[in-house]
Chain A
Amino acid sequence: MVAASVHLLDAIMIMSWWRRILLVLIGAWVPTAIVFAWWTASADSTNPYFPPLSLIVERFTELWFSQEFVTTVVPSLRNFAIGYALACIIGIIFGTLIGGSRTGIKYAEPIIDFVRSIPAVATVPIFIVIFGLDIAMRVASITVAASMPILIATIQGVRSADVVQVETARVFHLSRQQQLWRVRLPGAMPLIFSGLQLGLQIAFIVTIASEFLGSGFGIGSFTLVATESFLILDAWTGVILMGLLGYLINIVFDLVERFSLRWYYGQKKIV
């Protein structure tokens, strides 16, 4: 599946600009149709739970193109960014150290298996006990949950490094540490990125979920409070905003991955 989408992207890259526009239009057709259907079907809705889309859009612009965005969404995004960045750093560094050590995996494996078996969201209450209802609690839950798939992918990637690459480094007198950080780790990046992708989804979920518990700010909290106060219109705008944010975050991630792994995709295209 990865290969198929890679070929698709390569195909897009060599296309002329008007074919690219055409392709975007084709891709945009289905979402456009859904929005259109929603718009018309909900136009005369009197059901309080499914207000007309036109009203939702109106409220959306009112709410999120204002100071409200800064006070509600920015804190969520900040927690998400800090938590995920820490997860990436911790996952990759510890993953490399554990994967590169002959005995490390024996000690680490049971602990990792235990921690990763805990549903990500279930760690939130524990961190409330430890950190209180603070930013630290939210960031810590995001980091712990999101670092697990990154850690595991890094360990696997580093351990399954290409034997020829590692032996080549060895005969050229690279130290064990150099073999680890300069050969095993970069070689593991394609696998690590699949862990980073998984961690990204988890980080986003935990960002929202951590706000569901006893907090007063953030987009998750906003949406929950709106629902509980029967501000259904506001709740809808919150849900749509979360969807859009998740979508944008994924686009950014794909761009970073394409750039970081250009050697990997380039090599696959030629081989």
Chain B
Amino acid sequence: MSTDITISNVSMFFDTPNGRKDVLDNVSYSVTPGHFVAIVGPSGVGKTTLLRILTGLTQPTGGSVEVRGKAIDGPPDGLAVVLQDYTRSLMPWLTVEKNINLPLRNKKMTKSEVRSRVAESLAEVGLEGTEKSYPWQLSGGMQQRVAIARALATRPDLLIMDEPFASVDAQTRFDLEDLVLKVRKDFGITTLMVTHDIDEAVYLSDEVVVLYGKPAHVREVVTVDIGFPRSQIETRNDPRFAELRTHVYSLVRGLAEPNEAA
């Protein structure tokens, strides 16, 4: 098993009142198991469309997505998601505990297994003791931690995150980035994340996929050859980090030519 997710020639167009709008054009990419991959690109390039296709919520108009060798036609098994809009993806009428329980309903687990799974997941994200709170009683950063805990509680093989830290303040963002690195170290889940923050993409990832063009194609897959563990201060001061972020930034802005044909 060399790849977890294989995206083969995925194309997507929408029929709009102004005619057909092509969004993705022959996007192909394979994700190595256990890798952390960030998808970046200019605003409106189709990052979220690609992510929706990977979650099985949208069917591509061309090509296919295989997860562990099986073409998907709906949300694949073992998938968990963290979305940007935590105020809407967490159910406001459920307590933190019940929000985390919700996806566990269909797993054959006893009550005590569920309870300890919830407690473990909350401990992983540093939110012990918030079981009985409602999400809206917590800060934005804490709500996003709950969303991450909910994802982890399902013991996913594949984690997909859509701009997970776009709606929190800068300091919280750094904290959550480091939380994601810790989760990655602890669980080694294959993770795909869309972000518009290039520093964040380089800081967290093994590979950064740059989408570019209308319709979008993979402009380059940039390998982040910076070792782990990473830290906000040292990694961000690493000359290699600066090189990579400058390169990715130029690709996103259309200023640089890709290093190799992707």
B92 touches A267 (CB 8 A): yes
Q: Which segment of B77-85, B194-202, B226-234 sits at the interface?
A: B77-85
**How far is it, in angstroms, between the C-alpha of A239 and the C-alpha of B103 when the chains are bound?**
53
Query: Inside 8 A of B94's CB, which chain A residues have their CB?
Result: 186
How far, in Å, is A259 (CB) from chain B's closest CB? 12
A170 CB contacts on chain B under 8 angstroms:
57, 75
Give the most central of B87, B91, B154: most A CB within 10 Å. B91
Residue A218 interfacial (CB < 8 Å):
no
Contact with A along B122-164 (1 / 0, CB 8 A): 0000000000001011000000000000100010000010000
| Nearest CB in chain B to that of A175: its residue | B106
Judged by a CB distance under 8 angstroms, whether A36 is at the interface is: no
| Chain B residues positioned under 8 Å from A271 (CB to CB) | 87, 136
* A178 sits at the interface (CB 8 A): yes
User: Would you call the interface of chain B mostly helix, strand, loop, or mixed?
Assistant: loop
**How many angstroms from the CA of A171 to the CA of B56 in the assembled complex?**
8
CB neighbours of B83 from chain A (8 A)? 164, 168
Cα distance, A173 to B75, chains bound together (Å): 7
User: Is B108 among interface residues, defined by CB-CB distance under 8 A?
Assistant: no
Residues facing A in B60-100 (CB within 8 A) are: 75, 77, 79-81, 83, 85, 87-89, 91-94
B148 CB → nearest A CB, Å: 13
Contacts of A267 in B (CB 8 A): 92, 134, 136
Nearest first, the 3 A-B pairs at minimum CB distance are A172-B103, A164-B88, A267-B136
With A168-B81, A264-B92 known, 5 other A-B pairs at CB within 8 A are A165-B88, A165-B91, A175-B106, A182-B102, A270-B136
Q: What residues of chain A have their CB less than 8 Å away from a CB belonging to chain B?
A: 162, 164-165, 167-175, 178, 182-183, 186-187, 189, 263-264, 266-267, 270-271
- What are 6 A-B contacts defined by CB distance under 8 Å? A164-B88, A168-B81, A171-B160, A173-B79, A174-B106, A186-B91
